[in-house]
Amino acid sequence: MAVHTVKQVMESIRKRESKPSEWVERALERIERLDGRIGAFLALDEQALAKARALDERAPDHPLFGVPYALKDNICTEGLRTTAASRILANYVPPYSATVARKLAETGAVLVGKTNLDEFAMGSSTENSAFQKTRNPFDLERVPGGSSGGSAAAVAAGMVPFALGSDTGGSIRQPAAFCGVVGLKPTYGRVSRYGLIAFASSLDQIGPFTRTVEDAAWVLNAICGHDPLDSTSAPLPAEDFTQGLDAGVQGLRIGVVTDIDTTGLDPEVKRAVDAAVAALARAGAEVVEVSLPHCQYAVATYYLIAPAEASSNLARYDGVRYGLRVETDSLVETYERTRSEGFGTEVKRRIIIGTYALSSGYYDAYYKRAQQMRTLIRQDFEAAFARCDVIVTPTAPTTAFRLGEKIDNPLQMYLNDLYTIPANLAGLPGISVPCGLSSQGLPIGLQILAKAFDERTLLRVARAYEQVRGFELPVPDVEGAAR
Partner 1 sequence: MVRISEDTVRQVAKLARLAVSDEEAQRLAPQLDEILSYAEQLQEVDLKGVAPTSHPFPLFNVLREDEPRKSFPREVMLANAPDTDGEQVRVPAVLEG
Partner 2 sequence: MNFETVIGLEVHVELKTKTKIFCGCETTFGAPPNTNVCPVCMGHPGTLPVLNRQAVELALRAALALNCRINQDCKFDRKNYFYPDLPKGYQISQYDQPIGEDGYVEIEVGGERKRIGIVRVHLEEDAGKSMHAPDGSHSLVDYNRTGVPLIEIVSKPDIRSPEEARLYLETIRSIMQYCDVSDCKMEEGSLRCDANISLRPVGQAAFGEKTELKNINSFRFVQKALEYEVERQTAILRSGGKVVQETRRFDEATQTTVSMRTKEEAHDYRYFPEPDLVRLHIDDEWLARVRATVPELPLAKRDRYMRELNLPAYDAGVLTSDPGVAAYFEQVVAAGADPKAASNWVMSDLLGYLNANNLSVADSPVRPAQLAGLIAEVDKGTISIKQAREVFKAMCETGKDAPVLIKELGMEQISDEAALLGIVDEVIANNPKSVADYQGGKEKALGALVGQIMKATKGKANPAVVNKLLLERLGKPGGNA
Residue positions annotated with a catalytic role: 72, 147, 171
Q: How far is it, in rounded angstroms, from Cα 15 to Cα 472?
A: 26
Query: Can residue 355 be called a binding residue for partner 2 (CB under 8 A)?
Result: yes
**Footprint of partner 2 on 229-248 (CB under 8 A):** 229-232
Segment contacting partner 1 by CB under 8 A, of 114-122, 211-219, 240-248, 374-382: 374-382
Q: Which does 360 bind (CB under 5 to 8 A by kind): partner 1, partner 2, none?
A: partner 2
Q: Which of 23, 41, 69, 92 binds partner 2 (CB under 8 A)?
A: 92
Query: Can residue 367 be called a binding residue for partner 2 (CB under 8 A)?
Result: yes
Query: Can residue 299 be called a binding residue for partner 1 (CB under 8 A)?
Result: yes
Q: Which of 12, 296, 312, 398 binds partner 2 (CB under 8 A)?
A: 312
Q: How far is it, in rounded angstroms, from Cα 108 to Cα 9?
A: 13
Query: Can residue 291 be called a binding residue for partner 1 (CB under 8 A)?
Result: no
Q: Give 185's strand partners.
A: 430
**Footprint of partner 1 on 179-218 (CB under 8 A):** 188-189, 202
Q: Which residues contact 242 (CB under 8 A, 6 or more apart)?
A: 214, 217, 218, 221
Nearer to partner 2 (CB atom), residue 200 or residue 347: 200
Q: Which of 74, 212, 301, 313 binds partner 1 (CB under 8 A)?
A: 301
CB 475 within 8 Å of CB 221 = no
Q: Which does 301 bind (CB under 5 to 8 A by kind): partner 2, partner 1, none?
A: partner 1
Query: Can residue 318 be called a binding residue for partner 1 (CB under 8 A)?
Result: yes
Q: Which does 31 bind (CB under 5 to 8 A by kind): partner 2, partner 1, none?
A: none
Query: Can residue 202 be called a binding residue for partner 2 (CB under 8 A)?
Result: yes
DSSP letters, 216-231, are HHHHHHHHBS--TT-T
CB 412 within 8 Å of CB 263 = no
Q: Which does 340 bind (CB under 5 to 8 A by kind): partner 1, partner 2, none?
A: partner 1
Q: Which of 75, 110, 153, 464 binds partner 2 (CB under 8 A)?
A: 75
CB 443 within 8 Å of CB 269 = no
3-state DSSP: the chain helix, strand, coil percent, rounded to 5? 40, 15, 45
Nearer to partner 2 (CB atom), residue 216 or residue 358: 358
DSSP letters, 115-145, are E--SGGG--SSSTT-SS----BTTBTTB---
Nearer to partner 1 (CB atom), residue 250 or residue 262: 262
Q: Mapping DSSP to helix (H, G, I), strand (E, B) and coil, where does residue 388 land? A: coil
Shortest spacing between CB 409 and partner 1, in angstroms = 9
Shortest spacing between CB 231 and partner 1, in angstroms = 4
Q: How far is it, in rounded angstroms, from Cα 342 to Cα 327?
A: 12
Nearer to partner 1 (CB atom), residue 131 or residue 322: 322
Amino acid making up residue 291: S
**Footprint of partner 1 on 415-454 (CB under 8 A):** 425-428, 452
Q: How far is it, in rounded angstroms, from Cα 302 to Cα 358?
A: 14
**Footprint of partner 2 on 95-154 (CB under 8 A):** 95-96, 98
Cis bond upstream, residue 147 (ω within 30):
yes
Segment contacting partner 2 by CB under 8 A, of 134-142, 227-235, 383-391, 392-400: 227-235
Amino acid making up residue 421: I
Segment contacting partner 2 by CB under 8 A, of 15-23, 47-55, 356-364, 372-380: 356-364
Segment contacting partner 1 by CB under 8 A, of 158-166, 243-251, 267-275, 312-320: 312-320
Q: Which residues contact 234 (CB under 8 A, 6 or more apart)?
A: 187, 189, 190, 226, 453
Segment contacting partner 1 by CB under 8 A, of 104-112, 146-154, 170-178, 328-336: 328-336
Binding mask 378-397 for partner 1 (x = CB under 8 A): x-------------------
**Footprint of partner 1 on 130-169 (CB under 8 A):** none
Shortest spacing between CB 423 and partner 1, in angstroms = 10
CA atoms within 13 A on the CB side of 79: 5
Q: Which of 239, 297, 398, 481 binds partner 1 (CB under 8 A)?
A: 297
Q: What does the angle CA 115 – CA 167 – CA 151 come to, to the nearest 5 degrees?
A: 20
Of 279, 78, 283, nearest to 195 by C-alpha is: 78
Q: Which of 236, 238, 281, 352 binds partner 1 (CB under 8 A)?
A: 352
Q: Mapping DSSP to helix (H, G, I), strand (E, B) and coil, where does residue 432 land? A: strand
Burial state string for 315-353 with b = 16 or more CB within 10 A and e = fewer than 16: eebbbeebbbbeeeeeeeebbebbbeebbbebbeebbeb
Size (the chain), residues: 483
Chain positions contacting partner 2, by CB under 8 A: 74-76, 82, 84, 89, 92, 94-96, 98, 193-198, 200-202, 228-232, 308-309, 311-312, 314-318, 320-322, 331, 335, 355, 358-360, 363, 367
